Amino acid sequence: MSDLWNLLSAPEFYAMVLQLATPLVFAALAAVVSNKAGVLNIGIEGTMVLAALAAALFSTWSGSAFVGVVCGVGAGLLMGGFFALCAVRFRTNHILVGIAINLLSAGLAVFIVYAITGNKSDYPGIAMTPWDVPLFKEIPFVGDVLFRQVNPLVFVAVLCVFMIRFLFRRTVLGVRILAVGKNPVAAASVGIHTRRIKTVALLIAGGLAGLGGAYLSLGYMSNFNTGMVAGRGFIGIAAEAIGGGHPVATALFALVFGAVNAFSLAAQTFTSITVPYELLNTLPYLTTAAGLVVYSLIRYRQSTHHSSKRRISHEKSVGD
């Protein structure tokens, strides 16, 4: 028990939660934007892999972490564009495009790393320098968590949450994305270019996933590893589903999953009880699955209370 108390009272733990939640927030926001446009974007996972690789590659080549992040975002945009090309122009089933992109990027990442270095797992990157926010870092507990040695991309993630909220609340583009996602035929009938809007939404999602990937290889670690994304894209999609597509709620759920992830890592150092790390590793996935189930149960019960068309509404499947 003292282990748990020590852990929960240490600011380092909360800083770690933020670190681990950041890629999930980016992935979840990418899922929000593409889901609002009516596309279930499974390719986020693969996009993150390639973006992480691009970030590591170009940061080493240029010697600057910033260039690496920009290239990571560029890779994300490229994959978003590829997704849009397949899903919107070639009219391929979204889930299949996602599966294909995941297959392709997993293969491509290993292939590129092998072609350059001759090994199949790691590529070094240049880590971003963490920021100290002057003045704020002096705040007793909060300062240690939020403003001391924090990766700039953590702030970018917070900013992105509110920017996405702003996008859907206050901008024409956001409303058009919503319209296209809700009912493409109606949207087209009032003159909205549905394909173009979908493409833009997928590009935004790709860029966000790219930020998440770049954070993984340049912020959370300082190298690219082929297994480093480890289902984070999918956890992001789950956070989006549980958050009901609201950017802030989604980000909060991503934070919860980040906390579970941080806990599962920190609990390996507990001395009073030893739980094997393999079982602790299941925790993030277990919570995600449980959260998804609870959310679906609540929504199911609501739909059975309020509507007589319950079978149809709950049958509404992923990605159509």
In the complex, the smallest distance separating the C-beta of residue 24 from other proteins, rounded to whole angstroms, is: 13
One residue of 15, 17, 25, 42 binding other proteins per CB under 8 A: 42
Q: Can residue 121 be called a binding residue for other proteins (CB under 8 A)?
A: no
In the complex, the smallest distance separating the C-beta of residue 227 from other proteins, rounded to whole angstroms, is: 8
**Binding segment toward other proteins, per CB under 8 A, in 146-154, 170-178, 214-222, 310-318:** 310-318
In the complex, the smallest distance separating the C-beta of residue 48 from other proteins, rounded to whole angstroms, is: 14
**Number of CB atoms found within 10 A of residue 209's CB:** 40
Q: Would you give the DSSP letter of residue 121?
A: S
In the complex, the smallest distance separating the C-beta of residue 296 from other proteins, rounded to whole angstroms, is: 4
Q: Cα separation of 100 and 77, whole Å?
A: 17
Is residue 95 a contact partner of residue 318, using CB atoms and an 8 Å limit? Answer: yes
Number of residues that bind other proteins (CB under 8 A): 69
Is residue 213 a contact partner of residue 236, using CB atoms and an 8 Å limit? Answer: no
In the complex, the smallest distance separating the C-beta of residue 149 from other proteins, rounded to whole angstroms, is: 30
One residue of 132, 166, 279, 302 binding other proteins per CB under 8 A: 279
In the complex, the smallest distance separating the C-beta of residue 292 from other proteins, rounded to whole angstroms, is: 5
Q: Can residue 135 be called a binding residue for other proteins (CB under 8 A)?
A: no
Strands (DSSP E) along the chain, which ranges? Answer: 122-124, 223-225
Q: Can residue 184 be called a binding residue for other proteins (CB under 8 A)?
A: yes
* Chain CA centroid to CA 205, Å: 10
AA letter at 108: L
Determine phi and psi for 271, rounding to 5 degrees: -105, -30
**Binding segment toward other proteins, per CB under 8 A, in 62-70, 93-101, 145-153, 164-172:** 93-101
Is residue 132 a contact partner of residue 77, using CB atoms and an 8 Å limit? Answer: no
Is residue 262 a contact partner of residue 20, using CB atoms and an 8 Å limit? Answer: yes
Closest CA to 73 of 91, 50, 41, 40: 50
**With respect to other proteins, which residue has the nearer C-beta, 49 or 160?**
49
**Any bridge partners for residue 223, and if so which?**
124
Q: How many CA atoms lie within 13 A of 233 on its CB side?
A: 29
Q: Cα separation of 116 and 122, whole Å?
A: 11
In the complex, the smallest distance separating the C-beta of residue 49 from other proteins, rounded to whole angstroms, is: 11
Q: Can residue 190 be called a binding residue for other proteins (CB under 8 A)?
A: no
One residue of 11, 124, 152, 231 binding other proteins per CB under 8 A: 231
Angle value at C-alpha 210, between 208 and 215, nearest 5 degrees: 100
- Show the binding pattern over residues 138-167: x = contacts other proteins (CB under 8 A), - = does not: ------------------------------
Per this entry, what is the length of the chain?
Answer: 320
- Show the binding pattern over residues 195-214: x = contacts other proteins (CB under 8 A), - = does not: x--x----------------
Q: Can residue 276 be called a binding residue for other proteins (CB under 8 A)?
A: yes
Is residue 21 a contact partner of residue 254, using CB atoms and an 8 Å limit? Answer: yes
Q: Can residue 94 be called a binding residue for other proteins (CB under 8 A)?
A: yes
Secondary element (H or E) of residue 164: helix 152-170
Return residues touching other proteins (CB under 8 A). Answer: 38, 40, 42, 86-97, 99-104, 106-108, 110-111, 114-115, 120, 184-185, 188-189, 193-195, 198, 227, 230-231, 234-235, 237-238, 241, 276, 278-279, 281-282, 285-286, 288-289, 292-293, 296-297, 299-300, 311-312, 314-320
